[in-house]
C-alpha cells in the first residue's frame, strides 16, 4: 500500500489513541515522518522549479548584441556549457571559440538560447546548413564538429536546397530541476524555426544529427532520424529526408513533456 494511503488510515487511529502500543505506535510515527519529509522536500523543489521557470526566456542573436558581447566571448560561454554538460568533451573535438564565433555570426537564424535572468545561458540548440564536402564526410562518419567553420556553411536562402546538421541541443546540468521547462522551450523555438522555413519556402534536403550516447541516440530516433553510419567522434550519425514528418514530430513534441531526457541533447558527445 502506498505510504500516503497508509498515513490516511493510521493518523486518525493514532490520534484517537487506538494505536498506542509500542511497536505499532513507532511504526506509524515512522510512516508519518517519512511522508512529511517527502512532502516538504517535494514542495521545496516545486517552489524552486517554479521560481526558476518564471525567470527563463528564449533569446537569439539580438540578445548577444544588446548585451554588448562579441561573438567570440559569447561562444566561450556556450563552449563552457558544453563542457559542463558532457564529461570528456575536448576542445579538439568541439572546435575553438574563435572559429565557432564566425559560424554563429554568419547564421544567426539557425540557433536559439534559453536564458536565466537575462544573463546566463542554460540551454541552446544550433544547426547549420553544411557544404557538400562536409555532408559527404558526415555521411561516412568521418566529420568532426571542429570542421564546421564559416567557409563550410551556407546562409539560409530560398534558392538553395539545404542539408542541416544539428550540432547541439542541450542544457546546463545545474538546471536539471527545470529540465522539462527548458527542454520544452528549446523545442518550441525549434518549432518556430521549422515553421519559418516552411512559410518562406526554404527547401530542406536532409537533416543530420549525431547520437554519441544512448540518450542522444534515443532522442535522434524520437525525432524520426535513422542511423546511417558509425561516427569517428563516437556513436552513430543519424539522418532523415522525410522533412515533412520531421516538422510534424517537432510540432508534436513541442507541446508535450518529455520525461527521462536528463542532459537532453541530440549531439551528446
DSSP-derived secondary structure for 51-115: HHHTTEEEE-HHHHHHTT--HHHHHHHHHHHHHHHSTT--HHHH--HHHHHHHHHH-GGGEEEEE
Judgement on whether residues 10 and 92 belong to the same structural domain of the protein:
no
Task: Give the three-class secondary structure for 222.
Answer: helix
Domain assignment of residue 214, yes or no: yes
**pLDDT given at position 121:** 93
Judgement on whether residues 66 and 101 belong to the same structural domain of the protein:
yes
Judgement on whether residues 142 and 234 belong to the same structural domain of the protein:
yes
Task: Give the three-class secondary structure for 238.
Answer: strand
Domain assignment of residue 217, yes or no: yes
Domain assignment of residue 244, yes or no: yes
Judgement on whether residues 69 and 43 belong to the same structural domain of the protein:
no
Judgement on whether residues 39 and 63 belong to the same structural domain of the protein:
no
**pLDDT given at position 26:** 55
For residue 219, the tally of other CB atoms under 10 A from its CB is 26
**pLDDT given at position 41:** 44
Domain assignment of residue 263, yes or no: no
Domain assignment of residue 265, yes or no: no
**pLDDT given at position 11:** 53
Domain assignment of residue 145, yes or no: yes
Judgement on whether residues 71 and 174 belong to the same structural domain of the protein:
yes
Domain assignment of residue 269, yes or no: no
Judgement on whether residues 38 and 145 belong to the same structural domain of the protein:
no
Judgement on whether residues 46 and 76 belong to the same structural domain of the protein:
no
pLDDT, tens digit only, all 269 positions of the chain: 554 555 455 555 555 555 555 666 555 555 555 555 544 443 344 444 455 577 899 999 999 988 877 899 999 988 888 777 766 666 667 778 999 999 999 999 999 999 999 889 999 999 999 999 999 999 999 999 999 999 999 999 877 899 999 998 888 888 888 888 999 999 999 999 999 998 999 999 999 998 877 778 888 999 999 999 999 988 899 999 999 999 999 999 988 544 333 333 333 22
Instruction: Kindly report the CATH number assigned to the domain that includes residue 227.
Output: 3.40.630.30
Alpha-carbon distance of 267 to 216, in angstroms, equals: 6
Domain assignment of residue 260, yes or no: no
Judgement on whether residues 131 and 73 belong to the same structural domain of the protein:
yes
Per the structure, the count of domains in the chain is: 2
Domain limits for position 121: 57-254
Judgement on whether residues 221 and 133 belong to the same structural domain of the protein:
yes
Q: Which residues pair with 112 in a beta bridge?
A: 125
**pLDDT given at position 54:** 79
Who contacts 5 (Cβ-Cβ below 8 Å, separation ≥6)?
none
**pLDDT given at position 269:** 26
pTM score: 0.75
User: Dihedrals φ, ψ of 137, to 5°?
Assistant: -65, -40
| Cβ proximity of 210 and 235 under 8 Å | yes
Judgement on whether residues 41 and 134 belong to the same structural domain of the protein:
no
Judgement on whether residues 86 and 121 belong to the same structural domain of the protein:
yes
Amino acid at each position: 500500500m502506498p505510504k500516503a494511503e497508509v498515513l490516511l488510515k493510521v493518523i486518525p487511529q493514532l490520534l484517537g489513541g487506538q494505536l498506542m502500543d509500542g511497536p505499532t505506535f513507532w511504526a506509524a510515527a515512522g510512516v508519518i515522518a517519512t511522508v512529511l519529509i517527502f512532502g516538504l522536500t517535494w514542495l521545496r523543489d516545486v517552489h524552486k522549479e517554479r521560481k526558476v521557470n518564471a525567470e527563463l526566456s528564449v533569446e537569439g542573436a539580438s540578445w548577444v548584441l544588446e548585451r554588448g558581447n562579441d561573438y567570440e566571448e559569447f561562444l566561450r560561454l556556450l563552449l563552457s556549457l558544453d563542457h559542463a554538460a558532457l564529461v570528456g568533451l575536448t576542445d579538439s573535438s568541439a572546435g575553438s571559440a574563435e572559429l565557432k564565433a564566425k559560424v554563429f555570426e554568419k547564421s544567426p537564424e539557425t540557433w536559439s538560447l534559453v536564458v536565466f535572468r537575462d544573463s546566463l545561458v542554460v540551454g541552446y540548440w544550433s544547426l547549420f546548413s553544411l557544404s557538400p564536402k562536409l555532408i559527404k564526410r558526415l555521411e561516412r562518419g568521418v566529420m568532426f564538429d571542429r570542421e564546421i567553420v564559416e567557409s563550410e556553411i551556407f546562409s539560409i536562402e530560398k534558392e538553395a536546397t539545404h542539408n542541416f546538421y544539428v550540432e547541439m541541443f542541450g542544457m546546463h546540468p545545474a538546471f536539471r530541476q527545470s529540465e522539462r521547462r527548458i527542454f520544452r522551450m528549446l523545442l518550441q523555438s525549434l518549432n518556430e524555426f521549422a515553421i519559418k522555413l516552411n512559410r518562406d519556402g526554404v527547401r530542406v534536403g536532409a537533416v543530420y544529427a549525431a547520437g554519441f550516447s544512448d540518450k542522444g541516440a534515443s532522442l535522434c530516433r524520437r525525432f524520426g532520424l535513422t542511423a546511417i553510419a558509425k561516427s569517428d567522434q563516437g556513436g552513430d550519425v543519424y539522418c532523415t529526408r522525410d522533412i515533412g514528418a520531421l516538422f510534424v514530430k517537432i510540432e508534436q513534441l513541442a507541446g508535450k513533456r518529455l520525461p527521462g531526457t536528463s542532459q537532453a541533447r541530440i549531439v551528446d558527445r
